[in-house]
C-alpha cells in the first residue's frame, strides 16, 4: 500500500524504522525476531478481518501493530485504532467491564496494552485518554477487587495471569509504583507457583496438564519480560529455597522438543497439537543466550487453531521484545 510522502508520513516512517532498529540491537542473528516473524505477520495482518470475540480482537490488534512496526505503513496502525475504538470504547458488553470478565477473562487485554504503546502517536488526545482510562479501570480492578486478590494469591495459572496483566497495564500507564509492586510480587509468585524441580504442580494435577503448564509458562515468562530491568534482573533471580526461571525452562524445553518425554498424564484432547510456538521459549532464549530455545520456538507451528486460542496468551512476541517510542 503506497502512501503519499507527507511530512507526517515521513515522521511516522522514521519513528517506525527507529523502533525496528532498537528491537534488533543486542540480538544475534538467531534472535532476530523481526526477520523471523516478518513473513508470517504480514500474511496475517489483513485489514478487513473482523474479530468475533475478545481473543480475536486482541490477536488482530497485536498483529496489525506488529505489521506497522515492521513496515511503518499507517494503514495497519489506522485499522488497529478502529478496533480499539470499537472494542474498548464503544461497547460496554465486550471488554469494558473488568469485574465481569475476571482475571482469566482479562488475559487478552495484556497484549492489547503492549500493542497500544506503539500506537499512541495515532490517537487523538481524547481517544488516548479514554483508552488509558479503560486500562486504569482494569488495573484498579486487579488491585482492589476481592476476587482479583484471591486470584493473585493462587498458585495456579490465575496467579500468573494476574501478574502478567498487572505488568502490562502498569507499563502502558507508566505507573512506576505499580511496576515496583509487581516486581516485588513476582518473587512471591515464584515461591507459590513453581516447585523445586521447575514444574507447576497445580497444572500437572489439572485435567489438561500440558496445555495448562504451557499457558502458565507463557504467562510467567511474559510477565518477566515486561518487569525485568538492568537494575532488577528478574530473569537471573533464584530463591534460596526454591527455583528460578532457568529451572522452569530447563525442565520444560526437552518435553516440548519431544512429547514422548512428557511423564505426566497426557491431555485428553489436542495433546500433540498443544505446544505450538511458545513465546516463553523465545524470551528465555534471549535472556539466557540459549539458541536452542529460540530454534525450538521457531520450529513449532505459528498458526494457532481456534480451539487452542485461549492457551496462547502472547501472539506477537516482536512487540514484547521491542522498546516503543516515548519510553513506553
How many independent structural domains does the chain possess?
1
Residue of 319, 275, 281, 321 lying closest to 297 (CA atoms): 281
The DSSP call for residue 93 is: T
Give the CA radius of gyration of the chain.
Answer: 19
Q: Has residue 204 been placed in a domain?
A: yes
> Is the model's pLDDT at 230 over the cut of 60?
yes
pTM for this structure?
0.89
Q: Has residue 188 been placed in a domain?
A: yes
Task: Please report which helix (H) or strand (E) contains residue 42, including its range.
Answer: helix 33-44
Q: Supply 26's cell numbers.
A: 543486542
* Predicted pLDDT of residue 193: 94
* Predicted pLDDT of residue 100: 81
* Predicted pLDDT of residue 25: 38
Rounded-to-integer distance, Cα 202 and Cα 156, Å: 5
| Residue found under cell 510456538 | 277
Q: Has residue 256 been placed in a domain?
A: yes
- Alpha-carbon distances of 181 from 72, 126, 136, 216, rounded to whole Å: 35, 29, 16, 20
> How do residues 51-96 score in pLDDT, each as one tens digit?
998 899 999 999 999 999 999 999 999 999 999 998 887 754 455 5
> Is the model's pLDDT at 288 over the cut of 60?
yes
> How do residues 11-36 score in pLDDT, each as one tens digit?
445 455 444 444 443 444 344 899 99
Q: Has residue 3 been placed in a domain?
A: no
Q: Has residue 312 been placed in a domain?
A: yes
Q: Supply 314's cell numbers.
A: 502472547
* Predicted pLDDT of residue 242: 64
Cβ-count burial of 32 within 10 angstroms (0-12 exposed, 13-18 middle, 19+ buried)? middle
**Contact (CB, 8 A) for 112 and 61:** yes
Q: Has residue 4 been placed in a domain?
A: no
Q: Has residue 105 been placed in a domain?
A: yes
Residue 215 belongs to domain spanning: 12-327
CATH of the domain at 303: 1.50.10.100
Q: Has residue 2 been placed in a domain?
A: no
Amino acid at each position: 500500500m503506497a502512501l503519499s510522502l507527507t511530512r507526517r508520513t515521513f515522521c511516522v516512517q522514521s519513528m517506525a524504522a527507529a523502533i525496528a532498529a532498537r528491537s534488533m540491537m543486542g540480538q544475534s542473528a538467531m534472535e532476530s525476531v523481526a526477520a523471523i516473524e516478518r513473513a508470517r505477520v504480514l500474511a496475517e495482518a489483513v485489514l478487513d478481518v473482523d474479530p468475533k470475540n475478545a481473543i480475536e480482537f486482541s490477536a488482530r490488534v497485536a498483529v496489525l501493530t506488529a505489521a506497522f512496526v515492521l513496515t511503518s505503513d499507517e494503514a495497519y496502525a489506522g485499522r488497529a485504532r478502529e478496533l480499539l475504538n470499537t472494542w474498548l470504547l464503544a461497547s460496554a458488553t465486550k471488554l469494558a467491564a473488568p469485574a465481569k470478565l475476571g482475571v482469566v477473562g482479562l488475559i487478552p487485554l495484556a497484549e492489547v496494552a503492549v500493542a497500544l504503546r506503539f500506537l499512541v502517536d495515532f490517537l487523538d488526545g481524547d481517544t488516548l485518554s479514554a483508552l488509558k482510562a479503560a486500562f486504569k479501570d482494569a488495573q484498579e480492578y486487579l488491585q482492589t477487587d476481592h476476587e482479583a486478590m484471591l486470584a493473585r494469591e493462587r498458585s495456579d495459572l490465575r496467579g500468573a495471569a494476574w501478574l502478567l496483566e498487572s505488568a502490562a497495564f502498569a507499563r502502558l500507564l507508566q505507573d512506576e509504583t505499580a511496576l515496583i509492586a509487581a516486581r516485588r510480587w513476582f518473587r512471591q509468585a515464584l515461591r507459590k507457583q513453581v516447585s523445586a524441580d521447575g514444574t507447576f504442580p497445580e497444572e500437572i494435577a489439572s485435567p489438561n496438564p500440558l496445555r495448562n503448564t504451557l499457558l502458565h509458562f507463557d504467562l510467567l515468562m511474559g510477565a518477566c519480560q515486561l518487569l525485568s530491568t538492568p537494575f532488577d534482573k528478574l530473569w537471573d533471580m533464584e530463591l534460596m529455597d526454591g527455583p528460578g526461571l532457568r529451572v522452569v525452562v530447563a525442565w520444560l524445553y526437552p518435553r516440548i522438543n519431544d512429547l514422548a518425554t512428557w511423564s505426566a498424564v497426557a491431555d485428553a484432547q489436542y495433546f500433540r497439537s498443544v505446544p505450538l510456538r511458545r513465546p516463553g521459549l523465545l524470551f528465555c532464549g534471549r535472556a539466557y543466550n540459549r539458541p536452542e530455545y529460540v530454534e525450538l520456538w521457531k520450529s513449532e507451528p505459528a498458526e494457532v487453531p481456534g480451539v487452542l486460542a485461549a492457551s496462547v496468551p502472547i501472539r506477537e512476541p516482536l512487540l514484547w521484545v521491542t522498546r516503543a517510542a516515548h519510553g513506553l
